Amino acid sequence: MGYNTNMTDSIKDLLLAKDYDEPPEIKTVKGFLRTHYSSDCHVTVQSQQIIIAVKGAALAGALRLRLHELQTLCHTDKRLVLRIIS
C-alpha cells in the first residue's frame, strides 16, 4: 500500500513553517548564564514562576546573588526559582 505523498508533503511543510522560538524570558536567562557563568541551564516558564535548573550548588549559589538583576533583565514580576540538578 502506497503513501499519499501530498499529505506527507503537507505535514512536512507545516512543520518546517512552524516557528518554534523560545519565550523571551528563556532566551534572556540562558544568555545570562552563558555570558556570565559559561554554563547552560534548563528553564521552565509557569504562570507564577520561572524555574531555572542549573548543575551544581556553587552555580546556584552564585546565581542566587544576582536573581534581582536577572528578573529585571527578563522584565517580569514572576518569582525566579533555582533548582539544582545533577
pLDDT tens for each residue of 52-79: 999 999 999 999 999 999 999 999 999 9
Q: How many residues does the chain have?
A: 86
Is 11 in contact with 57 (CB distance < 8 Å)?
Answer: no
Q: Which residue has the higher pLDDT, 6 or 53?
A: 53
Q: How distant, in Å, are the alpha carbons of 20, 28, 40, 48, 54 from that of 62?
A: 31, 17, 14, 23, 11
pLDDT tens for each residue of 23-54: 899 999 999 999 999 999 999 999 999 999 99
pLDDT score of 86 = 86
pTM: 0.76
